[in-house]
A = this chain, B = another copy of it.
Amino acid sequence: MKFPLTRSIFFTGFMASGKSRIGSLTATSLGWKFYDTDRLVEEKTGMAIPEIFAARGEAAFRKLEVEVLREICGGAPMVASLGGGTLLNPEALELVRRHGALVGLQARPEVILERVNRKKDSRPLLAGLDDEAKLAKIRALLAERKPVYDLSDLQFESEENVPHHVITRRIIHRLQVEAMDPLWVELGERRYPIYIEEDLSDHADSIAEKMGCTAPYVLVSDQTVKAAQAPLVDRLRHALKGAPAFYWKGGETEKNLGSIQKLLTWMLRQGCSRKATLVALGGGVVGDMAGFAASIFLRGISFIQAPTTLLSMIDSSVGGKTGVNHPLGKNLIGAFHQPRAVIISLSALSTLPRGEFLAGLGEAAKYAFIHGRSETARSILGTDLLGWLEANAGALLRQEPQALKSLIRVSCAIKAEVVGDDERETAEGGRAILNYGHTFGHAFEYLAGYQMPHGLAVALGMRCAARLAARLGMLTPAEEARHDALLDALELPRVFEGPFDDEKAWEATGRDKKADTGRRVFILPQGLGSVTTVVNPPKAEVLEAFHAVTRGRA
């Protein structure tokens, strides 16, 4: 089993809620032992429970119950079904809490009645009553025991038409999710987790439910992902209760309001209400568009990001920016809409084109340069991000899961820290350092007629920024060399291959839409691991910096 559980599982629930059947199925699935505490007490005493009550009294019975509990808790993890009154005993409750998870099973009164009648179950509590009286009695008993069931760590409904093995799988998946250690993006009421594992497609529903998302689920993706990751798409849809799927063609050209309208129409035709949850599976474009659609559908519904590219795993997982392009510019229409969860399956990277994978590594290198020495990086990696990247470049290029997992986690954590209080990007500064490499990078994109991947343009831009910083005395030659060596180790480009022209490049640095009019704002390294803003550096120095990647220096 890919996500091994290590703690025992205790089931509690009303009669006919299925706790014995589901409990034993759970045990079988996990290869664990299953116990029924009532049966254990009977075996131990050789008496039926009513006899024990009659002969020795309830206190003696509760003592026996704790004894058997203590015995089964003493060994390997197991599954136990508890008696109706077990948890009323503080000693028993304490044992359960210490040794495992308490799972409550619920069923609607009508379902309980139906099951009791079907089995011709001769429960003494309901003996001699007609259906209406039985139902009333079931309701009364459920209300009476609610405080006990509410002690559960997790509650599941044993629904009428859902087979027991399906409920069992749900319970196991949910316990596996509970045992995971996601990175939390702290946004008060809107805080959400980022789960990073090799393959989480089977667990998407459990994560969604944990975060309060509700069915119906709809999956939004694009044709590229559909073709490259068909098994993942299928398993994800299956986990999301057979979610219908909508596929864009993919790419920036359809990132516009018209495409959003198409998705909204499709969602309405699927009968989505405000309870619906949208799951975005794809790269940055899919995430931006699907997130924006979720933000304006019926004034906002829940959505989950399931990024499939390394860049989107690192970049779109944190920040809450969603939107589409306008004919007059990129990302001019949009909203801040935070996902309820981010679900990252590293297996999606297996079919990612090499250039896109490298662009993601470039983004991670950017975090190393802007904030890599932070306590956040140290607490996750045990070292600073720069040194870690140098040591793990090979493992990353080989896509070793453990290395990727650490890389994505630390990058998201740093971005969350930088974005910090500035959730809606209203403050000056703050988020601006995320634009490291962008002033030069935008110029390269412009010079290449926007035929160059953004991530690779930024990687070149960071080389220029380091060059400029070195010329301005902000970086020593050794630091600049180390900066560029890391980009080399990550196999990021060293040379701008497009047509280069000093005047056009200079002009382009003054056009960044994020810059104030007439000002050239550069984010430059101040030592390795932190950056600062430099406004209007001398033209000659800027051009020299460009030449670092245009004149065969590399």
- The residues of A with any CB-CB pair to B shorter than 8 Å are 257, 260-261, 264-265, 268-269, 292, 295-300, 321-323, 326-329, 332-336, 424-425
* Docked-complex contact B295 and A264, CB < 8 angstroms: no
Query: Which of B298, B322, B334 is the one whose CB lies under 8 Å from A332?
Result: B298
Of A328, A333, A424, the most chain B CB neighbours within 10 A belong to A333
Q: Flag if A296 contacts B296 (CB, 8 Å).
A: yes
In the docked arrangement, what's the CA distance between A299 and B328, Å? 15
In the bound complex, residues from chain B placing their C-beta under 8 Å from that of A321 are 299
Q: Report yes or no: B296 in contact with A326, Cβ–Cβ below 8 A.
A: no
Closest partner residue, chain B, to A299 (CB atom): B334
Q: Are A335 and B265 neighbours in the complex by a CB distance under 8 Å?
A: no
Least CB distance from A235 to B in Å reads: 30
Residues on B with C-beta less than 8 A from A336 are 299-300
Query: Which residues of chain B have C-beta atoms less than 8 A from A322's C-beta?
Result: 299
- The answer to whether A328 touches B296, judged by C-beta atoms less than 8 angstroms apart, is no
Please give, as numbers and ranges, the residues of chain B lying within 8 Å of A264 by CB-CB distance: 326, 332-333
Q: Residues of B contacting A334 with CB < 8 Å?
A: 296, 298-299
Beyond A296-B296, A297-B333, 9 additional pairs, beta carbon < 8 A: A261-B326, A268-B332, A295-B335, A296-B323, A296-B333, A297-B332, A299-B323, A299-B425, A300-B336
Expressed in whole angstroms, the Cα–Cα distance for A257 and B265 within the complex equals 12
B424 touches A335 (CB 8 A): no
- Looking at the complex, which one of B257, B265, B295 makes contact with A261 (CB distance below 8 Å)? B257
How far, in angstroms, from A434 to B332 measured CA to CA in the complex?
35
The 24 sampled A-B contact pairs (Cβ below 8 Å) are A257-B260, A261-B326, A264-B326, A264-B333, A265-B327, A268-B328, A268-B329, A268-B332, A269-B328, A292-B296, A295-B335, A296-B333, A296-B335, A297-B332, A297-B333, A298-B332, A298-B333, A298-B334, A299-B321, A299-B323, A299-B424, A300-B336, A300-B424, A335-B335
A333 — which chain B residues lie within 8 A by C-beta?
A: 264, 296-298
Q: Is the CB of B326 within 8 A of A265?
A: yes
- B contact residues around A296 at 8 Å (CB): 292, 296, 323, 333-335
Whole-angstrom distance between the alpha carbons of A292 and B292 in the complex? Answer: 13
